[in-house]
Amino acid sequence: MQISSKFTIGVHLLAVIEYLGEDEKVTSNVLAGSIGVNPVIVRNVMGNLKEAGLISISQGKSGISLTKTPERITFYDVYKAVDSVNDGGLFHFHENPNPECPIGRNIHKAMDSKLDRVQKCMEDEMKQITLADVMADIQSELKKSG
């Protein structure tokens, strides 16, 4: 199963908010222009991020802002906020293995804990990567390009 694009949209959105800071009012149209998607998609992802406490949204002068410093926003926070993967896990197991087959009868027992370990490793790594890491890479690229 693939993690939906809502995850990368969420990280992109947060990066734009951080980059523009207080210099420019951040709106869903500004974000949609940077991300290259329909503003409706941006608003849906923003709703998830707001509900998770990662952004605040106001209609006034400030627009959209981060509620935490970039060092405190992890990939895992975004992953969970946008609900890229349901509570069933990253891997969707085929549902009707043949109980008459020795492999079919035992495949879940043989694989479930291994798939759980793979997901846990991925999630643990996501907890180590922050928005600040992304912003540092973006700043580095901006310096290279002048």
Each residue's pLDDT tens digit, 81-123 = 997 666 667 787 788 899 999 999 999 999 999 999 999 999 9
Determine if residue 101 is left, alpha or beta; phi over 0 gives left, psi from -120 to 50 gives alpha, anything else beta: beta
The residue segments making up the domain with residue 79 are 5-145
| Residues 69 and 77 sit within 8 Å (Cβ to Cβ) | no
Determine how many CB atoms are found less than 10 A away from the CB of residue 9: 24
| Residues 77 and 66 sit within 8 Å (Cβ to Cβ) | no
Q: Which tokens go with 39?
A: 């503003």
Q: How confident is the model at residue 2 (pLDDT cuts 50, 70, 90)?
A: low
CATH at residue 72: 1.10.10.10
Helix (H, G, I), strand (E, B) or coil at 107: helix
Q: Does residue 6 carry a pLDDT above 60?
A: yes
Determine how many CB atoms are found less than 10 A away from the CB of residue 137: 11
* Total domains, the chain: 1
pLDDT for residue 25: 86
Tell me the average pLDDT of the chain.
91
* Cβ within 8 Å of residue 99, ≥6 positions away: 105
Q: Does residue 39 carry a pLDDT above 60?
A: yes
